[in-house]
Amino acid sequence: MTEAVGAIAVFFDDHNAFNHAVSMWQKRLPAYTYLKSDGNHPVPPSGSQVYTEDQIMDNWYNQTTLVDGLTQETCRDMVHTTMGLSAAINMAETAWHQGLDLYKEGHNRIVKAMEFHADYILGAKVPEWLCHGKLTGGTIPMWEIGYNHYHNRDKEYMPKSEEMIMKKVRHAGNEISQVWETLTHAENPNNY
């Protein structure tokens, strides 16, 4: 939703809608991607509902061990996880082209999530503490845009994401809503 609102706002040059999309992103990314600095449980989703810790953990598929980069959908499947990361990255890229650096704000969450999930999608043994030792599904070709920003623009070392791109993503065509990311973002830090 956030990615769509942001893109529509830019298309219609609607500053209020764009600011709303940014606010949504700023609230949703911490609720989607865990960091140890969040405390003993993930950040609850924003909105009028008050969530108990049990409700939050239920939304995280009852994953009890929390580590940097884990997402709300990790234990659901890798395809939905990478779709969620893709939406966050695409909104950050849209904002980047509008002169707002959401990438900086989301740096730790996005980079840690990309590296964490790339390792398992590439075949690392899944420990028993993670989703009861089982992760399902593969990935979608969403890796190029985030990697391009953090590695090529910011010089962040992201070895697992790089390996993912080289072994499983390049040369990405079109799948779901991820379209031609290799063409537009691979090794292109100054793309506009």
> Helix 78-97 vs helix 15-32: angle between axes, to the nearest 10 degrees?
140
> According to the model, what pLDDT value does residue 169 have?
80
SS3 content of the chain, % helix, strand, coil (to 5): 55, 5, 40
Mean pLDDT value of segment 141-148: 90
pLDDT reading at 175 higher than 70:
no
What confidence category does residue 176 fall into, taking pLDDT thresholds of 50, 70 and 90?
Answer: low
Residues 87-98 pLDDT 10s: 999 999 999 999
Residues 6-64 pLDDT 10s: 999 999 999 999 999 999 999 999 999 999 999 999 999 988 788 999 999 999 999 99
Q: Exposure string (b/e) for 161-180, b if CB count within 10 Å is 16 or more?
A: beebbeeebeebeeeeebee
Residues 63-112 pLDDT 10s: 999 999 999 999 999 999 999 999 999 999 999 999 999 999 999 999 99
